[in-house]
Chain A
Amino acid sequence: MPDLLIELFSEEIPARMQKRASEDLKKLVTDGLVEAGLTYASAGAFATPRRLTLSVEDLLAQSPTTVEERKGPRIDAPEKALAGFLRGAGVAKEDLGTVEEKKGTFYVAKITKEGRPAAPIIAEVLENAIRNFPWPKSMRWGTGSLKWVRPLHSIICVLSAEDGSEVVEFDIDGIVSGRTTRGHRFMAPDAFSVNNFDDYSRKLKSAYVMLDASERADHIWHDATNQAFAQGLEVVEDKGLLVEVAGLVEWPVVLMGNIGDDFLGLPPEVLQTSMKEHQKFFSVRNPKTARIEKFVTVANRETADQGATILAGNEKVLSARLADAKFFWDNDIRTVEREGFEAMAAPLANVTFHNKLGSQSDRIARIAALAREIAPIVGADADEAELAAKVAKADLSSEMVYEFPELQGIMGRYYAKKAGLSDAVADACRDHYSPLGPSDDVPTDPVSVAVALADKLDTLTGFWAIEQKPTGSKDPFALRRAALGVIRLIVNNEARVSLRANFYRHIVSIYDRLAAEHSVLKMDLEQYAEDGSLKKIRWVQTPYESGNEAGLLLYWRMPENDLGLENSDESDRRIALAPTKTSADLLSFFHDRLKVFLKDEGIRHDVIDACLAMDGADDITLLVKRARALSETLATEDGQNLIQGFKRANNILSQAEAKDGVEYSYGPDIKFAESDVEKALFAALDTAEAAIKPAMASEDFASAMSAMAAMRASVDAFFEAVQVNADNEVVRRNRLNLLGRIRDICLSVADLTKLDG
């Protein structure tokens, strides 16, 4: 069976798109072939900066002939129906067969689709793939209308078998398929022709092209680590950079160069970031001192001078880059030494965080107050936490972070140390942004925890207060991430924060400031629309009172004549400043996030709902402890059966209570117990209650729930042996009250009515 070779040869494809593009090519082409009946044994996809290549082995030479039977109208159907059927099936009346069925005799058409040779099918599939290729960004060039990631120059499309090969001929916007390609842009630019994939990859290799990206990456890593090792050094691993660099070259040549002595004193993170971001260099570290001493660059060619010119050029460019970095570092250190680190934060007063939430300085002041409040809860010193919060974002106005935003926090830690602040404060500068991603480490030092919590809680309450909540897939302020961060900080550190009270206080203070600071409102008086036109907006404040809640109602009006809004309902556009409602809403957002978080631990939504209904649901540590204990109890046989017993008791009670119009919660009396089983249940309930009460009081949910689960045998035996609805009304009521006690005991642990099944 023949093999297929496809190469799409273009100008340089962005490194970040290559891998995905080779996979897309493989999928589009092989899916298209299979759909047309051409199955194959295996396929491989490759990408270099200038080409996407696909090799398909053992492809059917021709698609199989297929026969389809299609049932038509009944033989006594009107002529019109038959004519329509014949047209649709593309057959003549004489070719029809018939089939007998219960409902009568029907026409049957046999439609034969002849198989087709592979070549025309491939041509159609490939043309379709090229025209519908899912590039993240594509472009036109010259006078053409075809879109590709960069200008497409030539196409190889060759079917090969043992007896030779043929070009699959087609033409797409003037590019005619063929069997020629070119080697390395500079080292082997001439065209050559190929017969099959083996021939192609062999000739490419001698034309200085390594086709396989993983081979290029391996080659780079191998050479780089060897060169470093020879000098007693090691390359700092960076998989993302390796993939990117492998996508920038067809013929990787690894060169190791020197960093000027002037720059070796810069923090390693600065060297690494500058070299990676600007130059795509790997950092080379001395394992003894952890200092970065050299760099590795990857050139795309060999030269007569063994890369000497290339390396000299790269060293020079790096020196210019690092001279900038050193300039920033020296200036920042000078500022810190002269004025202190806190002073570095002063310019943040002029940086808007959000036009309704004030400047970065306003934000820092809020975070500092909050950090002070949280400090005792997480075991931090309040003064230290407040100081840490005040300086944690100071590096945002440093020159280094302005140049390299990704160094925020990291620079703060260096500058805090230079300013003589404590290690705890310095670490908080670096760590208070954490955790960012779900797999990020969670800070554990109390000062870092206090600032990290305060930072995220301020963001959440702030955006909730001004009604900028995430909707659907839109979460521009990363509030879901912030909430997850809070949850992980609290759970990992077992912090006991009453979120509802915390939210309320903070939201009220934001509203107070909104109302008091006229300057903030004034910023909104004139707003530019997206098209640059000026829209005047009038803010109106009125006191707001509803129930037992007082607040402030803030809404805006457009001058009617400008925008023709005279009939619109201004209440649509108001911000009702209702702190209780806003706090409750934010708490329920947290509960949703918590469900997502606990789902990863295998804890079901309904288990969390059962715990949310209990007191203290705004204390995440308590909530998680309760949910984990309940989840574990449900996993035991006793626990699972007890829940069934509880449900049964609850169902019987609900029916009886609805019928009798009373609530059975008076407490049963053992003197009306008729059987041993019933008496045993009394005893079991006493035992359980005696164990559960103190356990709950000390938040030992595991003990409380195992005590609850231990009732299982007695509850089961009771239902097995005893008829609740006894004829004797006194006995019946006593038994219902007994069930009521089961219910009360269970509900004191968690709201088991919320559990599924």
Chain B
Amino acid sequence: MSQTLEKPRSFQEIILRLQAYWASKGCAILQPYDMEVGAGTFHPATTLRSLGSNPWAAAYVQPSRRPTDGRYGENPNRLQHYYQYQVVIKPSPPDLQELYLGSLKAIGIDADLHDIRFVEDDWESPTLGAWGLGWEVWCDGMEVSQFTYFQQVGGHDCAPVSGELTYGLERLAMYILGADHVMDMPFNDPSAPTPLTYGDVFKQTEEEYARHNFDAANTEKLLKNFEEAEAECHALLDVPADDPKTGKRIIMAHPAYDQCIKASHIFNLLDARGVISVTERQAYIGRVRTLAKACADAFVQTKAGGYVPEATQ
């Protein structure tokens, strides 16, 4: 990697180079989780897999939704739907910072010309009952990634510790590609037969979802959906582990966690609709956290979560 690569020419090329880079470093390249989440961390490949003692290494793009950030596609860098690139490696390797800097080089950020800095930024997710220490990484004064050593997830101490890297792809790509407005950024190669900008792909959906999130989403139904997801999550976790049909021990940690994700997204929508008061807000966050903790408790009782049956201990 001694010679500097040519600069990427499109949003998707940056994604493809990150995929190739982290694949070359041994990560399993996963696909986005098929549910609405607020950030890449919510993907079970990070939240659940950072628990327990089993080694893990994965990288993936995660479409993320933040209903309150919708600006009808007009703000140069605020979107209600955007992409995060997520890398999670357990245990965190000793050269994780160097690996990360290598990934910047792969997408055209040459550390010889730029000023790259690790600035204190501790991470905490009250909804996931999780926290870690790390930095936001600055390139010439701009935050390009979050770098976190997970200490606790779902109320459980992480041992071993996972290293998590999160790249905000639109912002990073705008910087590399020199775009001033996210919608003007080339999505595919500008010399392709059908060149598409980010706006060609997402301008209309940003409008539609902004209207939906702020004004149209049915709050009564959402409130009901929240309660249902919450109840379903608890109900799935209350089912005894021994499955009478197969005779196997099957704890439904992932299906339960899906309900936790659902509750979290519904809460975000309700928040965007402005129907949650300041006092209620904390209570809702507390309820989602209760679900996340229960799912984490269940996951560590599974094989993937590092559980070893007593007979083999």
Bitwise interface map of B from 264 to 286 toward A, beta carbon under 8 Å scored 1, else 0: 00000000000001111011101
One of A12, A297, A531 near B286 (C-beta < 8 A): A531
Asked if A313 and B139 make an inter-chain contact with CB atoms under 8 angstroms apart, the answer reads yes
Q: List 30 A-B contacts (CB under 8 A).
A: A12-B119, A12-B135, A14-B120, A15-B120, A49-B118, A137-B133, A140-B149, A140-B159, A141-B149, A143-B159, A150-B133, A153-B94, A248-B117, A248-B119, A281-B141, A299-B115, A303-B113, A305-B113, A314-B140, A316-B142, A316-B175, A317-B141, A320-B76, A320-B77, A523-B279, A528-B279, A531-B286, A531-B290, A532-B283, A532-B286
Q: Which residues of chain A are near B283, meaning CB under 8 Å? A: 528, 532
Q: A303-B112, A309-B113, A310-B140 are in contact. Are A530 and B160 (CB under 8 A)?
A: no
Instruction: Write the nearest CB–CB distance from B145 to chain A, whole angstroms.
Output: 14
Q: A139-B151, A142-B160 are in contact. Are A16 and B120 (CB under 8 A)?
A: yes
Q: Which residues of chain B are near A301, meaning CB under 8 Å? A: 115
Q: Which residues of chain B are near A149, meaning CB under 8 Å? A: 133
Q: Which residues of chain A are near B91, meaning CB under 8 Å? A: 141-143
Most buried by B among A49, A142, A248, A351: A142
Instruction: Write the nearest CB–CB distance from B16 to chain A, whole angstroms.
Output: 24
Check B161 for interface membership: any CB of A closer than 8 A.
yes
Most buried by A among B76, B133, B278: B133
Q: Which residues of chain A are near B159, meaning CB under 8 Å? A: 140, 143, 145
In residues 286-301 of chain B, which contact A (Cβ within 8 Å)?
Answer: 286-287, 289-290
Q: Which residues of chain A are near B94, meaning CB under 8 Å? A: 142, 151, 153
Q: Which residues of chain A are near B207, meaning CB under 8 Å? A: none
Chain A residue nearest in CB terms to B119 = A248
With A300-B116, A352-B278 given, name 14 new contacts (CB 8 A).
A11-B118, A12-B120, A15-B120, A139-B151, A142-B93, A186-B111, A304-B113, A312-B140, A313-B114, A313-B175, A320-B76, A352-B277, A531-B286, A532-B283
Check B13 for interface membership: any CB of A closer than 8 A.
no
Check B122 for interface membership: any CB of A closer than 8 A.
yes
Interface size of A by Cβ–Cβ distance < 8 Å? 48
Give the 10 A-B residue pairs with the shortest CB-CB distance, closest first.
Answer: A313-B140, A532-B286, A14-B120, A528-B283, A12-B118, A314-B141, A299-B115, A532-B287, A143-B160, A139-B133
Q: A11-B97, A16-B120, A528-B286 are in contact. Are A142 and B161 (CB under 8 A)?
A: yes
Check A640 for interface membership: any CB of B closer than 8 A.
no
Interface size of B by Cβ–Cβ distance < 8 Å? 45
Asked if B282 and A528 make an inter-chain contact with CB atoms under 8 angstroms apart, the answer reads yes
User: Chain A binding site: helix, strand, loop or mixed by DSSP?
Assistant: loop
Q: Which residues of chain A are near B151, meaning CB under 8 Å? A: 139-140
Bitwise interface map of B from 55 to 83 toward A, beta carbon under 8 Å scored 1, else 0: 00000000000000000000011000000
Asked if B116 and A355 make an inter-chain contact with CB atoms under 8 angstroms apart, the answer reads no
Q: A317-B142, A528-B286 are in contact. Are A139 and B114 (CB under 8 A)?
A: no
Q: How far is the CA of A310 from the CA of B112 in the complex (A)?
A: 10
In residues 212-270 of chain B, which contact A (Cβ within 8 Å)?
Answer: none
Q: Which residues of chain A are near B277, meaning CB under 8 Å? A: 352
Asked if A139 and B149 make an inter-chain contact with CB atoms under 8 angstroms apart, the answer reads yes
Check A279 for interface membership: any CB of B closer than 8 A.
yes
Check B92 for interface membership: any CB of A closer than 8 A.
yes
Q: How far is the CA of A138 from the CA of B133 in the complex (A)?
A: 8
Check B132 for interface membership: any CB of A closer than 8 A.
yes
Check A318 for interface membership: any CB of B closer than 8 A.
yes
Q: Which residues of chain B are near A312, meaning CB under 8 Å? A: 140
Q: How far is the CA of A637 from the CA of B111 in the complex (A)?
A: 76
Q: How far is the CA of A532 from the CA of B127 in the complex (A)?
A: 12
Q: How far is the CA of A352 from the CA of B279 in the complex (A)?
A: 9
Bitwise interface map of A from 290 to 328 toward B, beta carbon under 8 Å scored 1, else 0: 000000010111011100011011101110100100000
Instruction: Write the nearest CB–CB distance from A314 to chain B, whole angstroms.
Output: 4
One of A139, A140, A532 near B290 (C-beta < 8 A): A532
Instruction: Write the nearest CB–CB distance from A643 to chain B, whole angstroms.
Output: 57
